[in-house]
Structure 1
Amino acid sequence: MPALRILQLVGSAGVLYMSNYPSNSIGFILLTHTKPLQIYRLINTLNRMFNYPLIVCHHDFSKCDLSVNSLTKNVLLVRPYLQTEWANFTLVEATVQALQLMCEVPDAPDWVVLLSGADYPIKTAKQILDDLASNPYDAYIQYEQITYKIYKDDLTPNMLWLKNSYQRYCTKSFSFNLSKKYFAQLNLEIRLEHPLLTKAFLPFSNKLACFSGSQWFCTNRKAAEYIINFHSQKNALTLYYSNLKYTDESYFQTILANAPHLQLKNDRRRYIDWSNGGPHPKVLVMEDLPNLIASSAHFARKFDIDTDSNILDELDRITS
């Protein structure tokens, strides 16, 4: 077992604290771009709960400023930052760069949790660390294999999501712009869907299946280093996904789920409420607290301090 971190100076004010956890037990990657006050609050909560763990933050400064002087010294910023866009491959690149920075640190954490600035812990540090330590898994990530299937009568949300995932990652489209001097321009798109037609254009095969799931995951160092090494090879999968949308919901899942030496738990340990429909989850408020407490998840999303900060106050009380 790693030596306990007994005393350490951290923070701009040089805060002295005692640590009850191994120095490399857990670290956090934050992908942030808005609401600095909420980002500071999340960092302060992680510091309180986990005794100033290593936190690597990729903040998109093109979206909003973030005062570096307000961050404690256990927070490392990814430099230079990327201008990230929703559903864009830049989110994958930002995540990998943060993972690289995390793993390059001497005595890197045993576990890495990927969070957004809108996430918040809903279990105590002991519950989270005990859960990770007591199970044999290398990663907690939601993943489901995406295959060519037609369910004409199945309109359940999960099946619609699977169909949508197949359209995103496993088809090939060709666009044609036709125009003549005396006619309006005609735009045509041809989409190939059957595997026999798309095989020459896609990186997938019997040895490399396509998987999809939630963007948010938790990995141990072994799985994190595998992601970094895989991505650095600039292989066919990486090149293919770099030109797609919504790759953050398939790229990491495909890498990890095709690794036979890794044990995965098909559970992101994240509470997310999609009951409102649409591309974004419901903003959680006080009325959602009973569901959060009953959940087995470690973290929940998403929260908004401008909508309801009372639920964060209550979660602070529960996790203290």
Structure 2
Amino acid sequence: METNKPQKKNKWFLPLVFSLLLSTLLMFISIFISSSSNSQLYHTHVKSELLPRFVESKLKVSATSSDPVPRIAYLISGSMGDGESLKRTLKALYHPRNQYAVHLDLEASAEERLDLANFVRNEPLFVKLGNVRMVVRANLVTYRGPTMVTNTLHAAAILLKEGGEWDWFINLSASDYPLVTQDDLLHTLSAIPRNLNFIEHTSDIGWKEYQRAKPVIIDPGLYSLRKSDVFWASEKRSVPTAYRLYTGSAWMMLSRPFVDYFLWGWDNLPRIVLMYYANFLSSPEGYFHTVICNAEEFRNTTVNHDLHFISWDNPPKQHPHFLTVDDYQKMVDSNAPFARKFGRNEPVLDKIDSELLGCNADGFVPGRWFNNKTNSNLFPYDAMKNSTKLKPGPGAERLKRLINGLLSAKDFHANHCS
């Protein structure tokens, strides 16, 4: 009996040892593979962390239009008593290809604003083509305050949402007036890159640092329904260090890509700068200039001109001179497409109408889209059919000289945000 026990022991002992060895081997292989895999995953994870994923890298500047004839989006704004002047300026600027937003601020009476609304609503050409709209929810705009900037942003957003395709945004007031026809303007602009931004600017803010940047003001138009001048705080502040301040003219022609940028603000710069300029005196003369010159995508698209003839004192005061017949030849010789500032029913406007625009004081400016010199019997269907046909005149030659001179200047590139 005892002689059989070692044999039974040998029968189960060897398989046990073999299974232990196999298990140990499998365990080592599993640990090695797991360690290698984890190491690879770790290095892959570290590598992915070294490559930051920012949403801004996926957002690109919008493309410009390839349409051979450009389109312009206009803001024409006014205040109390400007209703009739605004209508006249609108007609002088009208072209079926363009888009228009008109705004009378809350200082204007309800009757005056209703009269403008009825004019826009009942003009047959506007009704048929649908390219003129009134800013129904009017803003209270304080002169020298940031509400002028917010009003411009509001109108630009409306035109971006409702105005379809357009190439440039131009802000004007009821006291502005064109010196060229829209056929002249569109013809000239069709030959230049559509990413250009005509915005007069400089980084040499000089006295404005102490009189506008460092003081802190509050615009009542941000919270009140009654217009009054800005309030001054007793505290002063230092100029920003995160971005550089620029200043210039409040009147500009901005490209569609830049308008997209300052409204969407995908890298937050436009909003940060807007919050700073909320307490800046005469912020329309600095906000857009500071944004464009601190944005890498747009700083090299600037043309240092506001496309206006304006008569200033030397050195400039707060307000420009009112233009009269005595300034007529200087306006023409400037080659600028716009001029300001005109008084209501100023006689020189009749001279501009008859000699430069070819229309009467209450009519549309003739062009290839509309050749009737009497400005009557206008058929909207014909206007739409001929909207891509232009008939440039002497104004186009003047404007071409201005723009070609700006773009071909030796210091053109050096003047980008200088």
Q: What band does the TM-score fall into relative to the shorter chain?
A: 0.7 to 0.9
Match of 2:309 in 1: 271
The answer as to 2:138 corresponding to 1:138 is no
Alignment partners' CA distance in 1, 2:335 and 2:133: 29
Indicate yes or no: 2:150 matched with 1:107. no
User: Do the aligned partners of 2:310 and 2:320 also contact (CA within 8 Å) in 1?
Assistant: yes
Matched, 1:42 2:89: yes
Does the aligned pair in 2 maintain the 1:286–1:310 contact within 8 Å?
no
- Secondary structure in 2 aligned to 1:57? strand
Residue 75 of structure 2 contacts residue 155 of structure 2 at CA under 8 Å; is this kept in 1? yes
Determine the structure 1 residue equivalent to 2:209. 166
SS at match of 1:163: coil
Q: Secondary structure at the match of 1:28?
A: strand
SS in 2 for 1:135: coil
Determine whether 1:242 maps to 2:278: yes
Check whether the contact 1:46–1:53 (CA below 8 A) recurs between aligned residues. Answer: no
Larger radius of gyration: 2
Q: TM-score, normalised by structure 1?
A: 0.73
Aligned pairs for 1:1-320 (under 5 A) are 22=69, 25-33=71-79, 34-47=81-94, 50-51=95-96, 53-64=98-109, 65-66=112-113, 67=115, 68-71=117-120, 72-73=126-127, 74-105=131-162, 107-136=164-193, 137-146=195-204, 162-171=205-214, 191=236, 198=238, 202-205=239-242, 208-230=243-265, 233=268, 235-262=271-298, 263-275=301-313, 278-308=317-347, 309-314=349-354, 315-317=356-358, 320=366
Residue identity in the other structure for 1:29: L
| Letter matched to residue 278 of structure 1 | K
Structure 2 gaps, min length 5? 1-64, 121-125, 218-232, 360-364, 367-418
- Which SS does the other structure have where 1:130 is aligned? helix
Seen in structure 2, the aligned counterparts of structure 1 residues 291 and 242 have a Cα distance that, compared at 3 Å, is same
- Per-residue CA deviations over 1:112-159 (Å, capped at 9, x if unaligned) read 11111111111232332233232235210011004xxxxxxxxxxxxx
Count of residue correspondences: 262
Query: Using the alignment, how far apart are the partners of 1:272 and 1:253 within structure 2?
Result: 19
1:70 maps to amino acid:
F
For residues 36-67 of structure 1, the C-alpha deviation after alignment (integer angstroms, 9 at most, x for no partner) is 111111111122xx236210122214234231
Structure 1: which amino acid aligns with 2:144? A
- 1:27–1:55 contact (8 Å) kept in structure 2: yes
The 3-state SS of whatever aligns with 1:55 is strand
Q: Percent identity of the aligned residues?
A: 22
User: Alpha carbon RMSD of aligned pairs, Å?
Assistant: 2.8
- Unaligned 5+ segments in structure 1 are 4-20, 147-161, 175-187, 193-197
- Which structure shows the bigger proportion of residues in helix conformation? 2
Change (3 A) 1:132 1:52: closer
Q: SS in structure 2 opposite 1:100?
A: helix
CA contact (8 A) 2:244 2:290 kept: yes
